[in-house]
Structure 1
Amino acid sequence: MTLHRSWIPTLVVCMALAVTGGCNRRPAANDPSRPGRQAAGRAMPPAAASPKDDGQWIMPAKDFANTRYSEQAQINKQTVGRLQVAFTVSVGASGGQESSPIVAQNTLYFVSHYPTTLYAIDLTQPGGPVKWRYETRPPAAVQGEMCCEPVNRGPTYANGTVYLNTPDTRTVAIDATTGALKWETRLGDFTRGDTMTMAPFVVGDKVIVGNSGAEFGARGWIAALNAADGSIAWRAYSTGPDVDVKIDPKVFKPFYPQYKGKDLGVSQWPTDAWKIGGGTVWGWISYDPEQDLIFHGTSNPAPWNHLQRPGDNHWTNGVFAREPKTGLAHWFYAYSPHDLWDHSGVNENIVLDLPWQGRTRKVIIRPERNGYIYVLDRTTGEVLAADPFIHITASKGVDLKTGRLRFNPDMIPQAGKVIRGVCPNSPGAKDWSPSAFSKATGLIYVPHNNLCMDWETKPVNYIAGTPYIGVNPRFYPGQGGNAGEFMAWDPVGRRKVWTIKERWPVWGGAVATAGGVVFYGNLEGWFKAVDADTGQELWKFKTGSGIIGQPTTFRGPDGRQYVAILSGVGGWVGSIVTRNLDPRDPTAQKGFANMTGELKKITQPGGMLYVFALPAT
C-alpha cells in the first residue's frame, strides 16, 4: 500500500527559522545566557489563567495556564541543600505512581495506582497522619484492559469537593472534609478497552474528563459533568460526524483549510474505521478565561499500523479549542496528521502571552512527542513556530504556511520491512510528563526522552477489549547514549538554555519556584533540585523506587514551605519492573523491554509519598 501524497506536507520549517537560529543552535549544558531576560521581553501567563499564589496547590497543573509554578521562596538556592524528609505515607500499593499530590484547606490529597484509592493527609498534625481514605474499588479485570498499567494522574479540588477518575471509567466526587461520596458517574465500558487515567479539570460548574484506550481501539471522547450532581452536560468525540465532534460551522473557524469541510471525522477514515479510531483524551487541559476556551489534546489514531487507516484520520493527534460550557469546538490543529508512530497529542498546552515580532501574541506552547516545541496562536490555531528540541529522523520539519508536519519519505513504514533508526520513538521526544514554566526566569522546564526505535508493521484485526496495535517496535537510546534529558527552554529565543542528561527517560513532571529552584525525579529514584538559571544540581534524595510522579510545593499550616512527590516505578516505561517482564523479548512492554532490562537491577516496585521541608527553627 502506498502513502497518498496529500498526506505529506512540502516545506521545512528550519528554512523559515534560519534567521533566529531556532533550528540549529544547541547551547551546551549550563549555558549562562539568559535570553528570557532580553529587552525583547519575556513570556508570561495571563493573570486570569495564573492568579497570585495563595500557598495551596488545588489542581495538578497548579493553575489554568498549566504553569506548575509556585511563588513560594522559602526553599531557594541558598537553603535547598538543607531540605530533609518531613514525613512519608505508604501508598499501600506498588506500581506506577503518577498522581500529583494536591493541597487544599490544610489537607493533602493523592490517588494511588490500582486499586485507585484517594488519600487525605492531615497537614495540621505532626507526621501527616491519614485523615481518611476513599476506596474506589475498580474491578480487578480492568487491569488487563489498560495499555500501560492502571495508573492515575491525580485528583482535583474545587469548592469543598475532590474529584478523581477511576480506571473503569467512573468520575467520582468526594466531600473534601469527610471523605463521603457525593456522586459518581460512569462514562464508558472498560470491557471494550475504554478506560480513564487523567486528572479531572474543573472550570466553573463543569468537571471535564476524558478517556484512555486508543491501543484497544477505544473511540476518543471528552466530556463535561455538572459539578452539582455529576450529570453529563456534553460529550464530544474525537472521530465521527460533526454532530458527534461538536463542530458547528457557525462557531468552528480553523486557521488551515485541511480542517474545513463537512464530517471530516468520517471521510478521513476508511469505512466505519472511525468507530474504533482512537483519539482518546487522557492528557492535560488548560483554560483561557479571557476567551472562555479550554485547550485539550487528542491521542493517536488506532491502530498504530498506519497502512490500515488511509487519510488524515481527523480528529486525532491534535489540539482542540472548545467552550467549556457547551463543548463547541472553535478550532483544531493536528500535530501529527495520519500518525505514523503513535505520537499521541495529549501533552500540556501552556497558556502564555508571548513577545512576538514587535507585539504580544496570545499563544499556547506545547512540547510535542514528534520532537518539536510548537507555538500556536490560541485565538486561531495558527502555528507561529515549531522548533526541534531533540534529534529527529522521522520528519523534516513543519510547513508554517500549511501547518503540516513533513514526513521523512525514507522513514515511512512499509509492509514487510523493518524501518530502523526512527527518532523520536513512540513515547516521543516527550510523553505526558508535564513541564513547568517559571514567571521568575521566563523559561520552560521540560522533562523528556532521547529515544529512537526500529519499527515493523504487521496486520491486526479489531477484537473488542484486546490490544489493537499492529506493530513490533524496539526502543533504544538516541544520540549520545542517554535515554532522557531535563532541559530549560527559552520560548522567546526558541532554544535550549541548558540541559541535564539522564541515563533513563525522564518520565515524571516538573515544578518551578520563585526561589530559583526546579524539582524533578528520575527512574532510578532520585528526587532532585536544580538551579533554575543554570541547571546546576543543588540537592538530591534517593527514594525507595523509581519516580514517574509529579512534584508539587505548598505552604503548610505552620507557615513552612513543603515539597511533595510520589515514588513508585511503573507505567509504560517501568512495567518491566512491576510486571517482571522478560527482557529477552525486545518487543515486550510495547518496545521498552529492548532497553530497560537493566532497570530491574537499579530500582524496585514501590509506593510511597515523600514530603520534604527545611528544618524547623
Structure 2
Amino acid sequence: MHNTHPLRRSLLATALAAALLAAPAAQAGVTDADIVNDAKTNGDVVSFGLGTQGQRFSPMTQINTKTVKNLVPAWSMSFGGEKQRGQESQPVIHNGKMFVTASYSRLFAIDAKSGKKLWKYEHRLPDGIMPCCDVINRGAALYGDLVIFGTLDAQLVALNQNTGKVVWKEKVGDYAAGYSLTAAPIIAKGKLITGVSGGEFGIVGRVDARDPLTGKLVWTRPTVEGHMGYIVQNGEKVENGISGTTNATWPGDLWQTGGAATWNGATYDPETNLIFAGTGNPAPWNSHLRPGDNLFSSSTVAIDADSGKIVWHYQNTPHDGWDFDGVNEFVSFDYKDPQTGKLIKAGGKADRNGFFFVNDRTNGKLLGAYPFLKKITWATGYDMSTGRPIYTPDGRPGNPADEGDGKKGKVVFSAPSFLGGKNQQQMAYSPQTGLFYIPANEWAMDIWNEPVAYKKGAAYLGAGFTIKPLNDDHIGVLRALDPASGKIVWENKNYAPLWGGVLTTAGGLVFYGTPEGYLKGVDAKTGKELWSFQTGTGIVAPPVTWEQDGEQMIAVVTGWGGAVPLWGGDVAKRVNYLEQGGSVWVFKLHKS
C-alpha cells in the first residue's frame, strides 16, 4: 500500500469537507420519503394526487368553512401565446417553486410566492402528432432536482428544476402509430411510472417503470393479454412473462392492436407495494369483431412495483362495446365493514361506465358496485358472486354483419355516453368525512357499429355516435358518495359538464371548477356553496393546496378545452360560447 502525500491528504480532506457542507443542499431535492409523506406534509405538493394514493385530501385547516369567504386572489400567471386549448394540469410545488405543464407539451417554472415566471420549456413537436382528445397534459413528477413530464410525441423529458435545462429524454413510443403521453407520471419506490395514450389508434397499452434519474427502463408490463413483459437486468431486456394467456379472451389476432391504453396514469399504495393502473377501451370499438372479455381492457390492474408483474386485476366492463375506458383513478382508502366492524384495505374507482367500485386493494375482490348516475342503460347492476355486470338485453350496439348492406349496425340509445359518468377529472376522498367527491356527468348517446380494419396511424373505431344531454338544467353533478353503502349523501348540479378535478381538506371543504369558469368552495358535509370566484375561462384541471410562509394557498390551472368541445355532439353546443385561456390562479385568505 502506498502512503498518501501530505499535500494530497490535505486536498482530499478539503474535498471531503466541501462534500459534507454540500450534503444538506443535495437533500433539498425531492426524496422517496417526501413523496410517500406528501399527503401529510403542508409545505409542498410533490406528487400527482397530493400523495401517490390519489386521495387529494389536505390536512390543512387555515382555510375552512368559516374563513373561506375571505379567500382572494394572490396572483395569476398567463401561459401566453396562441397555444391555449385545454389546460388539465395539476401543479406540483417544491422549495418555493411551482411546476406546471400546459397545452402543446410546455412546462413552466414559477415563483410560488410571487407568480413570477422563472423559466419555460417548449417541446418541439413534429408534424403529424395524433392526440385523441385535445393537446393537453396533466402534470409533471418531481424527483431529486428533476421535473419530469410526457409529451404529445410520446417522449419523456427530464429538466433541472432550477435552470430548465434538459437532463435526459427518452422515446416511449412511435407517435406515427398513434402513441402519445398525456398523464402525469408518478414516482413509486424510486421508480418513474408512466402509461401510454393512443387507444383510438390501436396502440398496445402498457405501464413502464424507469430510473427517474436517467430515464432508462427498469420493467414494462403490457395491459393487453398476449403481449410479453420485460425486466431489465444487467442492461439486457429479460422476458418477464406474457400478460394473461394468449387468445384466452381475445380469439383471433386483434389482441395485437388491442388498445387498453393507460392514458390517465396510475396511483401507488406503499402499504401493499402495488401500482394501480386503469386501462382503456379495447380496440376497435366494434365489439362484434373481438369476441370474449378482452383482458386487460377497461380494467384495474394491480402491478408489483418491484417486478412489474400483474398481482391482480378486476375488469369493470368485460367485452366493452361502448368505449367505457376503465382508466379512472383507483384511490386507496381504509374503512370499517358496516356489518363486522373489521378494517378493510380498499380502493375506490368511479368508472366511466357509471358505477362506483370498491375493491379489496390487496387481492382485487369486489366489495361493492354502486351506480353514481341516475341513468345507466347498458347494465342493471353487478353480480357480487361473480363480479360481472348484469347486461341489459339489447343494450349493446348491433353487428353491421347482421344488416342487409353490412355498413351500419343497429343503433342503440345508451347512457352514460362514451365520455363517461366520470372521465379524466379526478375525484377526492376525505378520511375526515369518509366520503368520495365525484365530478360526474349525466348524458347519453346514440351509438352504432361500423366495419373497420387496422391501419397504422389511422383512427381505429368502427363506430359512430351522437352525444345527447339528458336534462335541460344540468349535465355535470358533483356527488358525495359513501363507499361503505353506495349512498349519495349530497349533490350539486351544474349546467355544463364537469371536466375538472376535486380537492378536499380537513377544513371541511371541497374545491372544484366548472367550465363556466368558477372555482367553488363547498361544505364537505352538506355541499352548501360557501365561496366562488370567476376566473374568466373554463376550468378542466384539479385544484391543489399548500402552505407558503405560514399561509394556506389554493391553486388551480384554468383554460377551457379537452374532449368535450371536440367530441361532445349536441352537448358541445352548451359550451361553445366559452373562451379558451391558459393561466394559473393562486388564492389565499385576505388579511384585514
TM-score bucket (shorter structure): 0.7 to 0.9
Say which SS state the counterpart of residue 264 (structure 1) adopts. Answer: coil
1:133 aligns with 2:125: no
1:98 aligns with 2:79: no
1:555 CA displacement: 0.8
Say which SS state the counterpart of residue 535 (structure 1) adopts. Answer: coil
State the match for 1:421 in structure 2: 413
* 1:39-84 Cα deviation digits (max 9, x unpaired): xxxxxxxx97775223311112001221101112211111111211
Letter in 2 for 1:232: L
- Can you give the 5+ residue segments of structure 1 that lack an aligned partner in the other structure? 1-46, 247-260, 576-588
Letter in 2 for 1:331: W
Separation in 2, partners of 1:425, 1:569: 21
Separation in 2, partners of 1:428, 1:173: 33
Letter in 2 for 1:402: T
Structure 1 pair 243/417, CA: closer, same or farther in 2 (3 Å)? closer
Structure 1 pair 263/365, CA: closer, same or farther in 2 (3 Å)? closer
1:215 CA displacement: 0.5
* Within-5 A mapping of 1:495-574: 495-556=487-548, 558-574=549-565
State the match for 2:587 in structure 1: 612
Structure 1 pair 360/263, CA: closer, same or farther in 2 (3 Å)? closer
1:323 aligns with 2:299: no
State the match for 2:478 in structure 1: 486
Say which SS state the counterpart of residue 300 (structure 2) adopts. Answer: strand
Letter in 2 for 1:407: Y
**For the Cα contact (< 8 Å) 1:122–1:129, is it kept in 2?**
yes
Alpha-carbon RMSD across the aligned residues, in angstroms, is 1.9
1:219 aligns with 2:204: yes
1:308 CA displacement: 1.4
Letter in 2 for 1:609: V
**For the Cα contact (< 8 Å) 1:226–1:232, is it kept in 2?**
yes
Separation in 1, partners of 2:359, 2:429: 16
1:382 aligns with one of 355, 365, 384: 365
* 1:568-600 Cα deviation digits (max 9, x unpaired): 11111133xxxxxxxxxxxxx2xx122212311
1:446 aligns with one of 438, 455, 475: 438
Separation in 1, partners of 2:480, 2:344: 21
* 1:382-440 Cα deviation digits (max 9, x unpaired): 10110111121111111111111121112121134443431111011111211111122
Structure 1 pair 308/136, CA: closer, same or farther in 2 (3 Å)? same
Separation in 2, partners of 1:463, 1:354: 47
Letter in 1 for 2:309: L
Say which SS state the counterpart of residue 411 (structure 1) adopts. Answer: coil
**For the Cα contact (< 8 Å) 2:475–2:496, is it kept in 1?**
yes
1:366 aligns with 2:356: no
- Structure-2-length-normalised TM-score: 0.87
Say which SS state the counterpart of residue 300 (structure 1) adopts. Answer: coil
Separation in 2, partners of 1:262, 1:91: 42
2:425 aligns with one of 433, 449, 455: 433
Deviates more, 1:151-160 or 1:49-58: 49-58
Deviates more, 1:262-271 or 1:324-333: 262-271
Say which SS state the counterpart of residue 247 (structure 2) adopts. Answer: helix
Separation in 2, partners of 1:154, 1:262: 29
1:318 CA displacement: 0.5
* Within-5 A mapping of 1:165-204: 165-204=150-189
Letter in 2 for 1:392: I
State the match for 1:7 in structure 2: none
**For the Cα contact (< 8 Å) 1:265–1:315, is it kept in 2?**
no
Separation in 1, partners of 2:474, 2:536: 23
**For the Cα contact (< 8 Å) 1:239–1:266, is it kept in 2?**
no
* 1:146-204 Cα deviation digits (max 9, x unpaired): 11112101012122221111111111111112222221111100001011111001012
**For the Cα contact (< 8 Å) 2:45–2:92, is it kept in 1?**
yes
State the match for 1:410 in structure 2: 394
- Can you give the 5+ residue segments of structure 2 that lack an aligned partner in the other structure? 1-34, 232-241, 401-407
Letter in 2 for 1:318: S
1:530 CA displacement: 0.8
Separation in 1, partners of 2:418, 2:473: 18
Say which SS state the counterpart of residue 229 (structure 2) adopts. Answer: helix
Separation in 2, partners of 1:100, 1:290: 25
Letter in 2 for 1:394: W
State the match for 1:599 in structure 2: 575
1:229 aligns with one of 210, 214, 219: 214
State the match for 1:69 in structure 2: 57
1:158 aligns with 2:143: yes
Separation in 1, partners of 2:344, 2:455: 46
- Structure-1-length-normalised TM-score: 0.84
State the match for 1:477 in structure 2: 469
Q: Which has the higher strand share?
A: 2
Matched-pair identity in %: 36
**For the Cα contact (< 8 Å) 2:42–2:60, is it kept in 1?**
no
Deviates more, 1:320-329 or 1:207-216: 320-329
Deviates more, 1:322-331 or 1:52-61: 52-61
**For the Cα contact (< 8 Å) 1:238–1:245, is it kept in 2?**
no
2:100 aligns with one of 84, 99, 110: 110
Letter in 1 for 2:446: D
Structure 1 pair 543/552, CA: closer, same or farther in 2 (3 Å)? same
* 1:107-131 Cα deviation digits (max 9, x unpaired): 11100011x111111124x3x1011
1:94 CA displacement: 0.7
2:377 aligns with one of 393, 400, 405: 393
Greater Rg by CA: 2
State the match for 2:238 in structure 1: none
**For the Cα contact (< 8 Å) 2:39–2:58, is it kept in 1?**
no
1:347 aligns with 2:347: no
Letter in 2 for 1:375: V
1:307 CA displacement: 1.4
1:466 aligns with 2:458: yes
Letter in 2 for 1:78: K
**For the Cα contact (< 8 Å) 1:237–1:245, is it kept in 2?**
no
Letter in 1 for 2:348: I
* 1:288-338 Cα deviation digits (max 9, x unpaired): 212211111111001111111111111111011111122111111110011
